[in-house]
A and B are shown apart, each in its own frame.
Chain A
Amino acid sequence: MSLLNDLFAKPLDPGYEEAAARSRAAGERPTSKRTWRSPALAIGLVALGLLLTMSVLQVRNTASVVSSERQGLIEQIHNEDARVSRLQDEVSSLESEIGRLESDLLQNSAAGQQTREEVESLQATTGAIAVTGPGVVVTVDNAEEQSAENGTDRVLDLDLRQVVNGLWAAGAEAVAINGQRITPLTAIRSAQDVIQINYRPMNAPYEVSAIGDPRSLARDFGDGSGGVWLREVASKSGIRYDVDSDESLTLPAGNTPLTIAIPGEGAP
């Protein structure tokens, strides 16, 4: 500990004492009481000020570069988001135009009328157009208290798949989760603990809306595989769910069009 003791006891550079002792020994007059005018001290302070300013400016520049890079990335994300939604708007307006032109074309003949009805019912089934009607809303949410170590008290993609399958089995005619229509090509899967539906990240609570006869749909869902699954998961891991009837639900069109597959020879 002598090192630290030394440090505390003699913080002044010993050189000063020695120099003073030397000049005393040489019989010189001790240096004047106040030597504030020493040019060396002034130059030393100039150097100190310069160093300080340089260092502070350096740190500030680095920080501003980092934050401006961040800002640029955030801006880029916002721009691209805006572009995606603009393109989606364009797609849906073009799709509605296609629908209008189709029905215009088919309106002229009796056979055309029949074809149009057929097409519309197929479109509703496949999720190609928006549909509206009474139904039920199943709301599934994460457990209130989350233990961080394992993710079992959160809603998993598997739970949502079971709910959707249960709703189909209970007679639902169209299903959507948080505004994303479930079509035959929809994937409900999780990527890095985030559930993605139609490749869009979703956050809890998940509202699964299904169109169908509200009474029989709610009853059959509760008795069927979906209700059984939800009850079991709720009792095991504490996730919350709720089934509500709704007089009028509107489900948007799905956006998973067929691009490669074409209807086969035997298609009706």
Chain B
Amino acid sequence: MIPLAGLLVGILAGLYFDVSVPLELQPYLPIAIVAALDAVFGGIRAVIEGIFNDKVFVVSFIANVLIAAFIVFLGDQLGVGSQLSTAVIVVLGIRIFTNVATIRRHIFHA
């Protein structure tokens, strides 16, 4: 329940404070979100499998977001920003899907 409450608090805080993203950071926001989603689903799966570790979660969350943003930034500088975004989304998307499928199997046993 606590993680769900956290998500809700985050959404409400975003709505309440109406933070606007600086223009130069806007292209990296979607990628950062996908990376954060990957870390969160990985963490949830680890919790369910009983091997969750605070340090690993925090490091993987921050590193995922930063590296994903950095790869897109690098791609932008090299003129292949959209292709690299696609690559990041494909890789993280596969991981998210597989992790969510495992979580689903654990919860529903199906």
- Chain A interface (Cβ < 8 Å from any Cβ of B): 4, 7-8, 11-13, 15-17, 19-20, 30-55, 57-58, 61
Count, A-B residue pairs, CB within 8 A: 158
Q: Is the interface of B mostly helix, strand, loop or mixed?
A: helix
Select one of A32, A33, A49 contacting B11, CB under 8 A: A49
Q: Interface readout for B38-71 with A: 1 if CB under 8 Å, 0 if not?
A: 0110111111111111111111110000000000
Q: Is the interface of A mostly helix, strand, loop or mixed?
A: helix
- B: interface residue count bin: 35 or more
- Chain B interface (Cβ < 8 Å from any Cβ of A): 1-15, 18-21, 26, 29-30, 32-33, 36-37, 39-40, 42-61, 91, 94-95, 98-99, 102
Q: How far is the CB of A3 from chain B (nearest CB, A)?
A: 9
Measured between beta carbons, the chain B residues less than 8 angstroms from A57 are 14-15, 18, 20
Asked whether, in the complex, the Cβ of A47 is within 8 Å of the Cβ of B36, the reply is yes
Closest 9 CB pairs of A and B: A49-B10, A53-B14, A11-B98, A45-B6, A42-B6, A15-B56, A46-B10, A20-B51, A19-B53
Measured between beta carbons, the chain A residues less than 8 angstroms from B61 are 44, 47
Measured between beta carbons, the chain A residues less than 8 angstroms from B94 are 4, 7-8, 11
Asked whether, in the complex, the Cβ of B20 is within 8 Å of the Cβ of A16, the reply is no
Asked whether, in the complex, the Cβ of A44 is within 8 Å of the Cβ of B20, the reply is no
Asked whether, in the complex, the Cβ of B10 is within 8 Å of the Cβ of A52, the reply is yes
Q: How far is the CB of B1 from chain A (nearest CB, A)?
A: 7
Measured between beta carbons, the chain A residues less than 8 angstroms from B49 are 12, 16
Measured between beta carbons, the chain B residues less than 8 angstroms from A43 are 6
Q: How far is the CB of B63 from chain A (nearest CB, A)?
A: 10
Measured between beta carbons, the chain B residues less than 8 angstroms from A41 are 2-3, 6, 40, 43-44, 47, 52, 57
- How far apart are the CA atoms of A245 and B33 in the complex, in Å? 71
Select one of A31, A48, A54 contacting B50, CB under 8 A: A31
Asked whether, in the complex, the Cβ of A30 is within 8 Å of the Cβ of B14, the reply is no
20 example contacts (A-B, Cβ-Cβ < 8 A) are as follows A7-B98, A12-B99, A31-B52, A34-B50, A37-B2, A41-B47, A41-B57, A44-B40, A44-B57, A45-B10, A46-B6, A46-B10, A47-B10, A48-B10, A48-B36, A48-B40, A49-B12, A53-B13, A58-B29, A61-B20
